[in-house]
């Protein structure tokens, strides 16, 4: 399977705990995006990378959120001191830098904070 993969698919954690999600993009894609999606809403942009460089981070994102893409391949998204409001689907997508930047999404990681 050469699509975007995400791990884990589901995560239940207690408020205050830290969580980390991983995304493996399509291998030749140099852009990688993180989104958050809650029920009935569109994907909300969090951040994106071009190769290993983080080009933009949403102003809505608190300092508790951090993302890395150290070698320009897979990426991790960490949420520190989770809150109940962090419960959502976290989607990763990748695209080529050239062309129309159409994005290919992974299956997402569903986070539930209790």
Q: How far apart are CA 70 and CA 67, in angstroms?
A: 10
Nearer to other proteins, 9 or 81 (CB): 9
**Residue 14 near residue 24 (C-beta atoms within 8 A):** no
Nearer to other proteins, 91 or 111 (CB): 91
Nearer to other proteins, 84 or 98 (CB): 98
Supply the minimum distance, in Å, between the C-beta of residue 81 and other proteins: 27
Binding site for other proteins (CB under 8 A): 33, 35, 40-45, 48, 55-56, 91, 93, 100-108
Closest CA to 108 of 17, 6, 29, 24: 6
């Amino acid at each position: 399977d050469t699509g975007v993969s995400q791990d884990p698919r589901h995560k239940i954690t207690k408020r205050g705990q830290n969580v980390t999600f991983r995304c493996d993009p399509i291998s030749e894609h140099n852009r990688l995006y993180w989104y958050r999606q809650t029920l009935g809403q569109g994907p909300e942009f969090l951040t994106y990378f071009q190769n290993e460089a983080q080009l933009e981070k949403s102003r809505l994102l608190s300092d508790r959120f951090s993302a890395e893409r150290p070698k320009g391949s897979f990426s991790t998204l960490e949420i520190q001191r989770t809150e109940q409001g962090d419960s959502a689907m976290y989607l990763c997508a990748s695209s080529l830098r050239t062309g129309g930047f159409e994005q290919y999404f992974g299956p997402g990681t569903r986070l539930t904070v209790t």
